[in-house]
A and B are shown apart, each in its own frame.
Chain A
Amino acid sequence: MEFVFSPEQEQLRSTVRRLLAERAPLSRNRELAEHGQRHDPQVYRDMAEQIGLQGLALPEDLGGSGGSLVDLAVVCEEQGAVLFGGPFFATAVLAAHALLACADDPTSQALLGAVADGKTTATLAVVETDGRWERDGIATRAEPLGGDHRLSGMKELVLDGAGADVLLVVARSAAGLSLFRVDPAAPGVQCRPLRTLDGTRAMARLQLTDAPARLLGEDGGGWRAVERARQVATVLLAAEQVGGARQCVELTAEHARQRRQFGRPIGSFQAVKHRLADMAARLELARAAAYWAAWQCPGTSPRCDEAVAVAGSYCGESFLQTTADTIQLHGGIGFTWEHDAHLYLRRARCDLSLLGTPQQRRERLGELVGAAEGSAR
């Protein structure tokens, strides 16, 4: 049994960290966000061409390098630490894993290859007005037309929706919920960027009016793809949150060492020490939960679902608490626009609604614990 990183994973971490430090540090990501650009396409391409990050956890026969979700979690942790805002999460996590669920479809295979190359960005549009990741919340209709379909409806919280080259949309056909590929430039597709609390992530509302669409995978089999994508994305979001929390702990510990009051560093005061220790302890717990889940995934076993529910619930809320503590421990400066602390708070707050809420994950955990009762696991 080994619940430790391999030397290759440590190497991957330092490579990604170096690339981000040079090309996409927090200061740069912040600047991009403030100018509404959110990412540098060249950095995104270099991630694919120089390190192969987009294809890291994709199978080799589909253009990837066959890595594990733990490998991808290492990458996401580093991106989360600097609040990287590029299309990586929407493309290499959400869209790619939805496509993997229908990977016997040639269109999916071609798209996965383009994703791995870093040449194509994509996203997955699921939730609608109520923001819930539930089957009965999907009202977008798919009507057959010739060999293809036409979609009508509205999608909310579409990550990178306004910038993606390919939109993967879940809609209701006669056979049930299905996954469709939509070209954002096609007639009847309107993607409006949304101004959200977290400027470092691009979010959009997607309006579809008889938009031409192509079915991916099995007609009526779209929800399986959504669940797979959501499971993987929940774990990798948890990894991002670990990165963000890690950065908050480091920033705050450094501040406590440097900042002097009453003739001593404020870190020597017990009230400050205790809060810092709590932040560090939460970080360790979140790290364990996130990587444990990454280790179990993807999968359909109750053990895997349980790990995802635990990570999704713990990492999101603990990250938010840590960002709030970061602001408090920075004193006055922590409340300013100039300081970076609020960027993490914004990210943490928005993350809680991105893939469903922590309460929903606990409800899922409750179902799993009930189902497991009386049976040996």
Chain B
Amino acid sequence: MTTPDEHGTEAVVAQLREWLRANLPSDWRAAVEAGDTAALGAITSDPARTSAWYETLGAAGWATPGWPTEHGGRGATADEAGAVADELARWSAGRPDADFVGLALAGATILAWGTEEQRQRYLPPLARGRERWCQLFSEPGAGSDLASLATRAEAHPDGSWVVNGQKVWSSYAHESRFGLLMARSDASLPKHRGITYFLLDMSTPGVQARPLRQMTGDAEFNEVFLDDVVVPDSARLGGVNEGWRVAITTLMSERSGLSGRPAVGPGVTDALVARARTTGAWDSPVLRDRILGLLVEERTLQMATLRAFAPAMTRRARRDRSASWCTRS
């Protein structure tokens, strides 16, 4: 085993830092360096400022470092892409969580399955933060058993599709320009084989997103109603009735994306320790042992995540770098 400090990402991070020195607006940089959260908040909550920044970031490939260079990325390995995300986060200069579906899921899926025309249409605006994406997978009757989904897509004689059904738990659907849609195109086939995957334009008549209020008080999730929505065949991703395979690419990207960049070090429990010290809970041996038990579990999970990713990362590093974005196997 080699030492865990050898991430081999220093060169990419150095490039990014140099680029940020030249491109990050000076008041933005100054606010971060001074720790002036009020000034930084004013900048990052100004849509005019952020959309200009996302254009610059995306055009340089730093919003999508893991994508191949010919599609506006930088051909970075997963480790390098993780280091880029960390560095951008340090400057509050990365894309918001709401863009996760677009950057991580739609990007990987379109790269893996899209026609050249589709890649040219969807990827550049995605990289530049112009279009938000959502996921239209789960339904009221299809949760864990996703393949039992009932939303129908009927082929019209003119080649287009008519979609009817209901989706749920769609994050940011009310703000999205496009949706990754799974629909049943042939009910006579076994459930995994009768599904087709579409890139749905959310402004199509018949698409209605209704926010669901969560226990946090926020409303990120939506119910999405699809009534006689006409979808052109050019928005189909992958073959007819091959949607399940396409969706696997999306789901694998989601799994690896949500587990985060594997690293062992301070996490949420460290914040809990710091808090317990200020409240005095730390002085109770019983509470201290319970908190430390959580810390042990958190660290162990981090180690296991690192270990789970290690073979894949080793394989990726050995493979042609330009193919490192592809999760299809």
Measured CB to CB, the residues of A under 8 A from B are: 1-6, 68, 70, 284-289, 291-292, 295-296, 306, 309-310, 313-314, 359, 362-363, 365-366, 369-370, 372-373, 377
Known: A1-B8, A362-B292, A365-B292. A373 touches B307 (CB 8 A): no
Q: Which residue, B4, B288, B292, B311, has most C-beta atoms of chain A within 10 A? A: B292
Cα A129 to Cα B1 with chains together (Å): 40
The answer to whether B1 and A295 have CB atoms under 8 Å apart is yes
The 5 closest A-B pairs by CB, nearest first: A362-B292, A288-B304, A288-B303, A3-B310, A292-B303
Q: Which residue, A5, A70, A292, has most C-beta atoms of chain B within 10 A? A: A292
| Of A289, A359, A369, the contact of B270 (CB 8 Å cutoff) | A369
Q: How far is the CB of A366 from chain B (nearest CB, A)?
A: 5
Prevailing SS type, chain A contact patch:
helix
Known: A292-B264, A310-B296, A363-B292. A6 touches B1 (CB 8 A): yes
Cα A362 to Cα B297 with chains together (Å): 11
Q: How far is the CB of B273 from chain A (nearest CB, A)?
A: 5
The answer to whether A366 and B288 have CB atoms under 8 Å apart is yes
The answer to whether B304 and A377 have CB atoms under 8 Å apart is no
| Of A306, A362, A369, the contact of B289 (CB 8 Å cutoff) | A362
Cα A217 to Cα B300 with chains together (Å): 36
Residues of B5-25 contacting chain A, CB below 8 A:
6-8
Query: Within 8 Å of chain A (Cβ to Cβ): is B265?
Result: yes
Known: A285-B301, A369-B270. 4 other contacts (CB 8 A): A3-B306, A313-B296, A362-B296, A372-B266
Q: Nearest chain-A residue to B4 (Cβ)?
A: A1
Known: A2-B1, A365-B292, A373-B274. A292 touches B266 (CB 8 A): no
The answer to whether B295 and A285 have CB atoms under 8 Å apart is no
Cα A1 to Cα B288 with chains together (Å): 34
Known: A2-B2, A3-B307. A288 touches B300 (CB 8 A): yes
| Of A3, A68, A363, A377, the contact of B4 (CB 8 Å cutoff) | A3
Q: Which residue, A1, A289, A292, A313, has most C-beta atoms of chain B within 10 A? A: A1
Which residues of chain A are near B313, meaning CB under 8 Å? 1
Q: Nearest chain-A residue to B274 (Cβ)?
A: A373
| CB 8 Å contact bits of B295-326 with A (1 = contact, 0 = none) | 11101110110110011011000000000000
Known: A288-B303, A289-B303, A292-B264. A2 touches B310 (CB 8 A): yes
Known: A366-B273, A366-B288, A373-B274. A1 touches B303 (CB 8 A): no
Q: How far is the CB of B310 from chain A (nearest CB, A)?
A: 4
The answer to whether A292 and B273 have CB atoms under 8 Å apart is no
Which residues of chain A are near B282, meaning CB under 8 Å? 366
The answer to whether B292 and A366 have CB atoms under 8 Å apart is yes
Cα A369 to Cα B291 with chains together (Å): 12
The answer to whether A359 and B304 have CB atoms under 8 Å apart is no
Query: Within 8 Å of chain A (Cβ to Cβ): is B143?
Result: no
Q: How far is the CB of A81 from chain B (nearest CB, A)?
A: 19
Which residues of chain B are near A314, meaning CB under 8 Å? 296-297, 300
| Of B6, B7, B265, B304, the contact of A285 (CB 8 Å cutoff) | B304
